[in-house]
Structure 1
Amino acid sequence: MGDIAAKLSSYNIFTNLIPGAVFAFIMKRLDIYDFGSLSAVVDVIMYYFLGVVVSRVGSVILQPVLNGIGFVKHDDYSKFIVAESKDPKIAVFLESSNLYRSICSVLLTTLAAYGVKLAAGYFAWSLRSIELGTVIFLLVLFLLSYRKQTMFIENRVQHHNQQP
């Protein structure tokens, strides 16, 4: 367990592990869903996975919506790469920004889960159908995340190939 914790970067702790633990806590506290506790190791893995999910909701759903309505703005990615290499503080600010986005995503995802719980009671959805819907949602979410990450890699490759 100590080896796993040592290999987690501060980015992974702040963007995935903490938001995942907060999400699990809020879900249990609001009596939406209890992820249970099998052991400390399983809990950490579950919190990390939940954090990855809420982080991806923030990146793939929340961020584009906020960009679309003009709430946040992002400059050209190649400008970001150049600026980041010149100013190491940008990485720190980016980590904080991603933490805030993840917290917003925790709250958005909690509201969505509460909505599903209410709808399940109203429409008499079975637990099995909710679980299947969740798996389908996660598949689509991670497919979109994979595409987004691949585009970031491609943009960095193109940026570095344009350099003299």
Structure 2
Amino acid sequence: MKELLTKISSYNLFNYLFPGALFVVLLEKLTHFSLRQDDLVLGVFFYYFLGLVISRMGSVFVEPALKKLRVVKFADYADYLPASKEDGLIATLSEQNNMFRTLCSVMMCLGGAKIWEFYSLQYPWVIENMEAIVICGLGILFVLAYRKQTAYISARVTRHTNKKN
């Protein structure tokens, strides 16, 4: 287990494991829900997965919403790549930026859990269909995350291809 934890990058630690564990702790304090895992190994993987889900929600939903509201403005991706090669601090700042976005997403997910808690008491069909709702929601989230990641890869390939020509 110790070897596994030493292989986790700081990005994975601060953008997946930490937010997942934080979400579980706060969820238990703020709602009647509990996702705490007693098994340490299972807990690390589960909290990592929760953090991954929360991070993707931040990437797919929070980031575009904040862009639309003009709370944040991004540099052009084509400018980011060469700038990050020249200034190594940009990559570190980007990692921290992603952590803040993920923490925004943690708070939004906690708000969603409070809403879920309220409506599950009002409408029992929510609890009765929870598994289907979660599976469909995660499926949609990961399709959207896959589409976004594919667009980033395509942009990098196109930029690389255009450099050679």
TM superposition score normalised by structure 2: 0.95
Name 1:121's counterpart in structure 2: 121
State whether residues 19 and 54 of structure 2, in contact with CA within 8 Å, keep that contact through their aligned partners in structure 1.
yes
- Is 1:23–2:5 an aligned residue pair? no
Query: Where does structure 2 lack aligned partners over 5 or more consecutive residues?
Result: none
Q: What's the CA shift for 1:36?
A: 3.2
SS at match of 1:140: helix
Question: What per-residue deviation string (whole Å, max 9, x for no partner) do you get for residues 68-121 of structure 1?
Answer: 111101121111111111100001101111111111100001101110111111
- 1:33-48 equivalent positions in 2, closer than 5 A: 33-48=33-48
- Is 1:95–2:99 an aligned residue pair? no
Amino acid corresponding to residue 96 of structure 1 in structure 2: Q
Q: What's the CA shift for 1:126?
A: 4.8
Q: What's the CA shift for 1:160?
A: 1.1
Q: What's the CA shift for 1:154?
A: 0.6
State whether residues 31 and 113 of structure 2, in contact with CA within 8 Å, keep that contact through their aligned partners in structure 1.
no
- 1:41-80 equivalent positions in 2, closer than 5 A: 41-80=41-80
State whether residues 20 and 49 of structure 1, in contact with CA within 8 Å, keep that contact through their aligned partners in structure 2.
yes
State whether residues 27 and 110 of structure 2, in contact with CA within 8 Å, keep that contact through their aligned partners in structure 1.
yes
Amino acid corresponding to residue 132 of structure 1 in structure 2: A
Q: What's the CA shift for 1:2?
A: 2.0
Question: What per-residue deviation string (whole Å, max 9, x for no partner) do you get for residues 17-59 of structure 1?
Answer: 0000000101111134211323111111111001001101100
Name 1:133's counterpart in structure 2: 133
Q: What's the CA shift for 1:130?
A: 1.8
State whether residues 32 and 114 of structure 1, in contact with CA within 8 Å, keep that contact through their aligned partners in structure 2.
no
Aligned length: 164
Cα pair distance change 1:49/1:82, threshold 3 Å: same
State whether residues 58 and 102 of structure 2, in contact with CA within 8 Å, keep that contact through their aligned partners in structure 1.
yes
SS at match of 1:125: helix
In structure 1, what is the Cα distance between the partners aligned to 2:57 and 2:32? Answer: 18
In structure 2, what is the Cα distance between the partners aligned to 1:50 and 1:70? Answer: 28
Query: Where does structure 1 lack aligned partners over 5 or more consecutive residues?
Result: none
Q: CA RMSD for the aligned pairs? A: 1.2
